[in-house]
């Protein structure tokens, strides 16, 4: 029998990365602090997810757990089909280096002064394990694509904080990882640099990369596809 005009709603898209019930308590001198309490997070491919909330609300802890930098006391972390929370510390480190991109808050912490800007991209590919790694010409082309063509031949100390952070995202995106995680990338930048950084982030999401950023920068929050708000270790929206 025909079902006539019955239309079934499309099933919700399966998120690319999922955190379920993430819980983390830190011991302190006078007791403990609950940095995260039973927090869930869904991350979709090609979207910018911003984890927002005041200082101390648990943003960095959540991102560290998602990126496998730390392990929660409880909770599941799935990225692609991998249960990251079940990996050893060593396996998580290898996974992070080869499979995803991580951007630390201080621009210079993401880069090496041993190489110029294009060389940092090549070096990122070496760390990924690419044999052979991309050529300097390929690195220059990649910088062009990300609107960073002008910085290719410069040394790292010759770059502004904003340029360093854009380069850090370019390095994190080497090898086209499906997930890039960045903690407070605009914290040390002026608003114009933050604005330009957003265009680099947008090029990554347009290529299908899931970008997860911890930030209370209103411009990043406004630009997000999804905003997850934390307060006192709890997800409030
Ligand atoms: P945010 O990134 O939103 O500022 P964090 O995730 O860094 O928040 O921290 C959440 C809470 O956990 C804060 O109260 C912070 O002081 C505490 N915390 C984070 N890391 C540690 C640690 N290694 N030892 C003790 N307390 C910590
Ligand atoms: Mg933080």
pLDDT digit string, tens, across residues 158-170 = 999 999 999 999 9
| Cα-based angle 80, 81, 85 (whole degrees, multiple of 5) | 95
58, 69, 182: residue to mutate for ligand 1 pocket, most atoms within 8 A of CB? 58
At 82, the pLDDT band (50, 70, 90 cuts) reads very high
Ligand 2 geometric centre to CA of 79 (Å) = 21
N- to C-terminal Cα separation, the chain: 44
Task: Judge contact between 60 and 52, C-beta under 8 A.
Answer: no
Q: Which of 56, 66, 216 to mutate to test the pocket of ligand 1 (most atoms within 8 A of CB)?
A: 56
pLDDT at residue 12 tops 70: no
Q: Which ligand 1 atom is at minimum distance from the Cα of 28? A: 25
Q: Global pTM?
A: 0.94
Task: State how far the Cα of 107 lies from the Cα of 194, in Å rounded to an integer.
Answer: 12
Q: Which long-range contacts (CB under 8 A, 24 or more apart) does 87-96 make?
A: 92/68, 93/68, 95/68, 96/67, 96/68, 96/69
Residue 11: predicted pLDDT: 66
pLDDT in tens, 87-144: 999 999 999 999 999 999 999 999 999 999 999 999 999 999 999 999 999 999 999 9
Determine the atom of ligand 1 nearest the C-alpha atom of 183: 2
């Amino acid at each position: 029998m025909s079902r006539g005009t019955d239309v079934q709603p499309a099933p919700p898209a399966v998120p690319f990365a999922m955190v379920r019930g993430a819980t983390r308590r830190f011991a302190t001198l006078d007791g403990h602090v609950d940095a995260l309490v039973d927090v869930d997070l869904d991350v979709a491919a090609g979207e910018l997810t911003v984890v927002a909330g005041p200082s101390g609300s648990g943003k960095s802890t959540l991102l560290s757990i998602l990126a496998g930098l730390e392990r929660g006391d409880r909770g599941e972390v799935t990225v692609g089909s991998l249960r990251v929370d079940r990996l050893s510390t060593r396996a998580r480190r290898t996974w992070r280096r080869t499979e995803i991109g991580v951007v630390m808050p201080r621009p210079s912490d993401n880069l090496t002064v041993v190489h110029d800007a294009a060389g940092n991209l090549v070096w990122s590919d070496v760390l990924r394990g690419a044999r052979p790694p991309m050529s300097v010409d390929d690195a220059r082309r990649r910088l062009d694509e990300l609107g960073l063509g002008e910085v290719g031949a410069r040394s790292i100390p010759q770059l502004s904080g904003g340029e360093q952070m854009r380069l850090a995202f370019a390095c994190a995106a080497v090898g086209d990882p499906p997930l890039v995680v960045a903690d407070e990338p605009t914290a040390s930048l002026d608003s114009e640099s933050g604005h330009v950084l957003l265009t680099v982030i947008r090029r990554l999401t347009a290529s299908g990369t899931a970008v997860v950023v911890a930030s209370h920068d209103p411009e990043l929050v406004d630009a997000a596809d999804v905003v997850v708000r934390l307060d006192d270790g709890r997800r409030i929206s």
